[in-house]
């Protein structure tokens, strides 16, 4: 596991955490059902990010390579950009 993989894993975890918290605050303020679905989606990404960092910290064999983590990060960013519209 190289430095690029470690960076992507921590970036994925951080971005997923930020988006999950912000969407949860938005749901608490507006109480719309679609925001609850958004909280669930970003929460799943957050769980995946935690798993990827725990996997790295415990020196387990990588379940995914940096290209898959980068692809997940790109999907997460594209979901965020779609929300900005």
What is the DSSP-derived secondary structure letter of residue 59?
Answer: T
Distances (CA, A) of 34 to 1, 23, 39, 52: 38, 10, 9, 27
Taking only the tens place, the pLDDT of each residue in 22-68 is 989 989 999 888 888 888 888 988 998 899 899 888 887 777 778 88
pTM: 0.79
Confidence of residue 85 (pLDDT cuts 50, 70, 90): low
Average pLDDT in the 60-83 region?
Answer: 81
More confident residue, 28 or 80: 28
Average pLDDT in the 10-29 region?
Answer: 91
What's the rounded Cα separation, in Å, for the pair 20 and 51? 16
């Amino acid at each position: 596991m190289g430095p690029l993989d470690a960076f992507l894993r921590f970036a994925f975890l951080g971005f997923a955490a930020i988006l999950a918290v912000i969407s949860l605050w938005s749901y608490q303020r507006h109480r719309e059902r679609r925001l609850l679905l958004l909280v669930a989606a970003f929460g799943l990404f957050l769980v995946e990010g935690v798993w990827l960092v725990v996997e790295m910290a415990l020196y387990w064999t990588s379940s995914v390579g940096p290209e898959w983590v980068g692809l997940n990060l790109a999907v997460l960013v594209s979901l965020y950009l779609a929300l900005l519209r």
